[in-house]
Structure 1
Amino acid sequence: MVLGIKGDILRIKFFSIASLYFFIFVSLIMGLVMGTAKDRQAYIKHFESPFEDNRIEIGFQYYMYGFELLNIPPQLSIIITCVLTYGILSRVWLRYVNVHWVASLLIFNFFMFSLLNYYLGTSIRMGLAMAISLYSSYKYMDGKKFYLAPLVGAFVLHYGALLYILVFLWFIFTKNLSVKFHIVMSAIGGLLLVLFFDLVLPSIGLSSYYMAYFETDFGRTERLLPFTVLFSIAAIWLTFLYSSKSKLHETSEILIVSLYSLPFIIYFLYSGNPLFGKMLMPIIFLQSIIVTNLYFRPVLVLLGGPLLISILLLLNALAIIYALKMYQYI
Structure 2
Amino acid sequence: MNLLRPFSLLLAGLSLAASVSASAAERIPVVASFSILGDIVANVGGERIAVTTLVGPDEDAHVFQPAPDDIKAVSRAKLVVVNGLGFEGWMERLAQSANYRGAIVTASAGIKARERADDDHDEHGHEGHDHHHGKDDPHAWQDPQNVIVYARNVAAALARLDPAGADAYRKNGEAYVAKVQALDSWAAQQFAQIPEAKRRVITSHDAFEYFGARYKVRFLAAQGVSTDSEPSAREMAGLIRQIKAEKIKALFFENMANPKLLQQIAREAGVTAGGKLYADALSKAGGPAPDYLSLMRYNVGQLLEKIRLN
TM range (shorter): under 0.3
Q: Larger strand proportion, structure 1 or 2? A: 2
Q: Larger helix proportion, structure 1 or 2? A: 1
Q: TM-score, normalised on structure 2?
A: 0.27
Rg (Cα) greater in structure: 2
Q: TM-score, normalised on structure 1?
A: 0.26
